[in-house]
Amino acid sequence: MPPATRRPAFWRTAGFRATLYQVLVIALLVGAVAWMTETARQAMHARGIASGFDFLLDRAGFAIGHAFFVFTPQDTYLRAFVVGLGNSLVVAAAGLVTATVMGVALGLSRLSGNWLLSRAAGLYVELFRNTPQLVQIVFWYALFTLLPGPRQAWNLLDLAFVSNRGLLMPWPAQSGVFGLALLLLVPGVFLARAFLRLADRRRRAGRPLRGTALLAAVVLLAPSAVGWLALGAPTGWSVPALRGFNFVGGLGLSPEFLALYFGLSFYIAAFVAEIVRAGILSVGRGQVEAAQAIGLGRADLYRKIVFPQAMRVVVPPLAAQYISLVKNSSLGVAIGYPELFSVTNTVLTLSGHTIEAIAIMALVYLVLALAIGALADIVNRAVRIRER
């Protein structure tokens, strides 16, 4: 009978040693950061430089132009950060939607059998992808500043006006209700998707629903309609009109916002187009031919065969481009758009809390990037093809 082997003590196991080394490395890094922070704090204190985050509740004393949110010089530095972040998110969200729509259209156009359409899409991609984004933003800004003044503004059916003051367009009088209705489109998308799955199962079972597309649109808009009705169903619109030397009413988008929006959207759209094209080309030709052989139409071919498989390839690089778009919104500082970087620059100049202000800005961008990455991971898990 062989002798029984004795189990080694836990501190002699490879797992314990690996954990111990990692804990020691982390403790060393934390200690180094704490030592550098305290040293910097003492050096700043010795030179009479204020430190800490108490300044956030001090009166800012400056105004923010072209802000989507109300801000006065009597507000605090903390609110200034919030307003700067809000401006960054507005232009980033608008740019993200536009870049996605344009990128998908351009990617499909590059694969089109139409020679002119394919070459035009290719020219766009090469032009916008291979020129610096900052140059594009400055170009758009210079273009808007060369437009005629308010009295000679380009008139679009007496509803919208384009001039060197930017774009003026109609806007709901109760913008809060309108914003809530837009937010309620998110649950509407999930409800519409569930409805389409149900309709597809009925179609496979030989019991198709009539007017599926119309019913899906109703399901999509139902949450927004309920919210709108619950808040009194306001219907008033504010329409811009020329009064004296400028316009009043409506929604005004400044040249700075438009230049940054165009610069972000058009630049990222070129990369999205290539990502979409690569994703579609990654689907095997045999699967497309098999789908055509069983009689699937072009729309069903893309919806059921091509896009679900292409999404596995598209989502990770697409998330990287979205993160890049959000971070590159800081380029608005070059043309005076009051986004987070621009506001932080003003705050650190007036308050003297340079390290704290930059740390707050970096932390905000880090959280935004991690949030987009986490959301992309969720989408990637949802669209992955489960194999046995």
Averaged in consecutive runs of 10 residues, what is the pLDDT profile of the chain (388 residues)? 67 83 93 87 75 83 78 89 92 93 92 90 92 92 88 82 85 79 86 85 78 85 86 79 78 88 94 91 81 76 80 87 92 89 90 86 93 88 68
Task: State the pLDDT at residue 385.
Answer: 65
- What per-residue confidence (pLDDT) applies to 2? 58
Q: According to the model, what pLDDT value does residue 208 have? A: 76
β-strand partners of 167: 162, 253
Tokens encoding 117: 């359409």
Distance CA 47, CA 328 (A): 35
Say what the pLDDT of residue 268 is.
94
pLDDT at position 5: 66
d(Cα 81, Cα 329) in Å, to the nearest integer?
15
Residues in contact with 137: Cβ distance below 8 Å, sequence separation at least 6, in sequence order = 259, 260, 262, 263, 264, 331, 332, 334, 335
CATH topology of domain 77-150+254-383: MetI-like fold (1.10.3720)
